[in-house]
Amino acid sequence: MSNSLFRTKKVEQSILDTEEPEHALKKSLTALDLTVFGVGVIIGTGIFVLTGKVAKETAGPAVSLGFVVAGVVCALAALCYAEFASTVPVAGSAYTFSYASLGELPAWIIGWDLVLEFALGTAVVAVGWSGYMRSLLDNAGWHLPAYLGGRDGATGFGFDILAAALVLVLTAILVIGMKLSARVTEVVVAIKVTVVLIVIVAGAFFINGDNYKPFIPKAETVPAGSSLKAPLIQLMFGWAPSNFGVMGIFTAASVVFFAFIGFDVVATAAEETKNPQRDMPRGILGSLFICTTLYVAVSIVVTGMQHYSKLSVDAPLADAFKANGHPWYAGAISFGAVIGLTTVCMILLLGQTRVFFAMSRDGLLPRFFSIVHPRFRTPHRPTILLGGLIAVIAGFTSLSELAELVNIGTLFAFVVVALGVVILRRTRPDLHRAFRTPWVPFIPILSVAATLWLMLNLPAETWLRFAIWMVIGSFVYFLYGRSHSRLGRHEETTIGEVMHRPPKGDAE
C-alpha cells in the first residue's frame, strides 16, 4: 500500500497524456502572454491596500524593504517553478510537479490544497472588486440596494450580485478560449499598469523628505498572546514579534506576501504555451521582477507623500493624494483597482480549473471533467462547475477570515515544489531541463526555510482550518481517487498481464 501511495508518474507519460485528442488543450500562449498573466494576477489588492496598512501598523517607510524581502522569498520559489515548468510542461502546476517527483499521495495533497487556494482567492478578490465598483457607482449617483451589495446591516442577509456577476462573466470568457483570455488580460493589465505608473510619477512630485524620518521607526514589542488568532510562532515558542524596528520589516514581509500570491498561476498554463521550455521561465521570472519593482516604487512614493502614521488603511493611495490637495486622483485610482482586481479574479479562476482538469485527467477526480470542448479546446466542464460554485460563494460570503487560507496554501505549494526539484534531480538526472535552478540544493533549501518562516507568522487558526481541509481531502482520495487512479489502473493491468503470461515452455 505504501508503494502505491508514493508511486510517481513519469514525466514522459505526463507529456504523452497531453497529446490525447479528447484531453488536448490548445497551445496559443507566448512568453509575453505569460508575463502579462503574471503581472495581471500579482498586481491587485496588495498594491492598492496593503501598502498603507503595513506602513502604518508594522514597518513605517521601511515597508518598501518588506516588499523586497517578500519578493526575494517568491524569487527563490520562482527559480524552482521555472525548472519544473520547463521540464514538465503540463497543466496542473505544483500538482503535476509533485506527481513526477514525490508520488501520488503528495500530489493529491498539493492538488487539493491548490483547489482551495484558487477557489477562495477568486471569491475573495471578487468581493473586493465589488466593493470598489460600488464605490464608483456611488460616486456616479447609482446606489445598489443593501441586500444586493453584500451583507445588509439591518437583516444580516444579502447577495453580492456584482461579485457573482463578475465570476460568471469571467467564466464565460475562459470557456471561449485562452487566446481571448490572454487578449482581454493584455488590455486590462495595460490599463492598470498605466494607472500605477501615473501614481508613481505624479506622486513623486509631492514627496516630502521629512515623511521618511524615521525610515525604520523604533521597535515596539507586541505582547505574546494565547489566542488562536495569534501567529503560530507565538504559541509554539512564546516569541513576541516586533512592530517597527528591523524585525518589523520581516513581520511586514509576512503580511505583504499576500500581494505576491498568484505568480505560480503562470505555471498552470504550461500546457497551453507554444514553447514552454523557453517561455515558462521568462513568464514566471519576468512577471515577478516587474511586480516587485512596482510594489517597491509605490510604497516609497506613498510613504513620502504622507507620514506613515497618517496613512489610510483602506485606501492609502487615494487618500495620500487627497491629503496633498488632489482628490480627483481618488477616482482614477479606484478605477485602476477595479480593473486590476478583474484580471486577478480571472487568472485565479484559470489556475483553479487547470489544476482540477489535470487531477481529473489522472483519474483522481471524475474523468468527466477532463474532456475538453470540441471547438474551443478548453476544459469547459470544470470551468463552468467551479465558476458557478465560486459565484455563489462570492455572493453569500465575506470570507474575510478565510482569506488567510489562500496565503498558507500558496506557501505550502512553494515548499513542495522546492523539495520536488531536489528529488527529481536525484531520481531523473537524465531529463532535459531547458532551465536549471542554480545552486541546487542550496537554493531549494533556502526557499523552504524562508517559506516556513512566513508560514509560522500566520495565525494558528489558519493552520487549524488548513488541517481540516487536508483531512477532508484525505478522505476523498482514499474513498475515490486511489481506486480510480489512472496510474494505479495502468500498474494493475501491467501486473495482471505478467501474472497471466504463460511460461515459455507452455508457449512453445
Here the CATH number for the domain that contains residue 360 is 1.20.1740.10
Answer yes or no: is 2 within a domain.
no
pLDDT score for 333? 79
Which of 143-147, 202-206, 207-211, 325-329 shows the lowest mean pLDDT across its residues? 143-147
pLDDT score for 155? 45
Residue whose entry in the numeric block shows the C-alpha cell 514627496: 207
| Radius of gyration in angstroms for the set of CA atoms belonging to the chain, rounded to a whole number | 24
Over the stretch 26-42, which tens digit does the pLDDT of each residue have? Answer: 787 888 888 888 888 88
Over the stretch 402-422, which tens digit does the pLDDT of each residue have? Answer: 566 777 888 898 999 999 999
Answer yes or no: is 295 within a domain.
yes
* Grid cell in block for residue 295: 510594489
pLDDT score for 48? 72
Contact in structure between 207 and 58 (CB atoms under 8 Å): no
SS (H, E, C) 175-216: HHCHHHHHHHHHHHHHHHHHHHHHHHHHHHCCCCHHHHCCCC
Residue 32: give the domain boundaries: 11-498
pLDDT score for 499? 43
Query: How many separate domains does the chain show?
Result: 1
pLDDT score for 363? 93
Distance CA 109, CA 118 (A): 14
* Residue type for position 321: F
* 457 backbone dihedrals φ, ψ, rounded to 5°: -85, 0
Handedness of CA 368, 350, 341, 249 (dihedral sign): positive
Distance CA 275, CA 267 (A): 13
Answer yes or no: is 381 within a domain.
yes
SS3 217: coil
Query: Where does the pLDDT of residue 375 fall: very low under 50, low under 70, confident under 90, or very high at 90 and above?
Result: confident
Other Cβ atoms within 10 Å of 296 Cβ, number: 17
DSSP state of 24: P
Contact in structure between 362 and 484 (CB atoms under 8 Å): no
Q: Is the pLDDT of residue 389 over 90?
A: yes
User: Which is nearest to 125 in space by CA: 466, 406, 413, 313?
Assistant: 406
Average pLDDT (278-283) is 89
Average pLDDT (41-55) is 78
Average pLDDT (492-504) is 50
Answer yes or no: is 29 within a domain.
yes
Q: What is the dihedral of CA 184, 289, 80, 490, to 10 degrees?
A: 0
DSSP string, 426-454: HH-TTS--SS--SSTTHHHHHHHHHHHHH
pLDDT score for 172? 92
Q: Is the pLDDT of residue 507 over 70?
A: no
SS3 360: helix
Distance CA 196, CA 207 (A): 16
Q: Is the pLDDT of residue 501 over 60?
A: no
Furthest CA-CA distance within the chain:
96
Answer yes or no: is 1 within a domain.
no
Average pLDDT (378-404) is 82
Query: Where does the pLDDT of residue 64 fall: very low under 50, low under 70, confident under 90, or very high at 90 and above?
Result: very high
* Residue type for position 404: E
Distance CA 499, CA 461 (A): 51
N-terminal to C-terminal alpha carbon distance within the chain? 36
Distances (CA, A) of 66 to 59, 97, 242, 298, 401: 8, 30, 13, 13, 23
The more confidently predicted of residues 119 and 146 is: 119
* Residue type for position 229: K
Q: Is the pLDDT of residue 208 over 90?
A: yes
DSSP string, 26-48: P--B-HHHHHHHHHHHHSSHIII
DSSP state of 260: G
Distance CA 262, CA 264 (A): 5
Answer yes or no: is 353 within a domain.
yes
Answer yes or no: is 506 within a domain.
no
Residue whose entry in the numeric block shows the C-alpha cell 526557499: 447
DSSP state of 88: S
The more confidently predicted of residues 92 and 206 is: 206
Which regions of 284-370 does DSSP assign to beta strands (E)? Answer: none
Answer yes or no: is 181 within a domain.
yes
pLDDT score for 341? 82
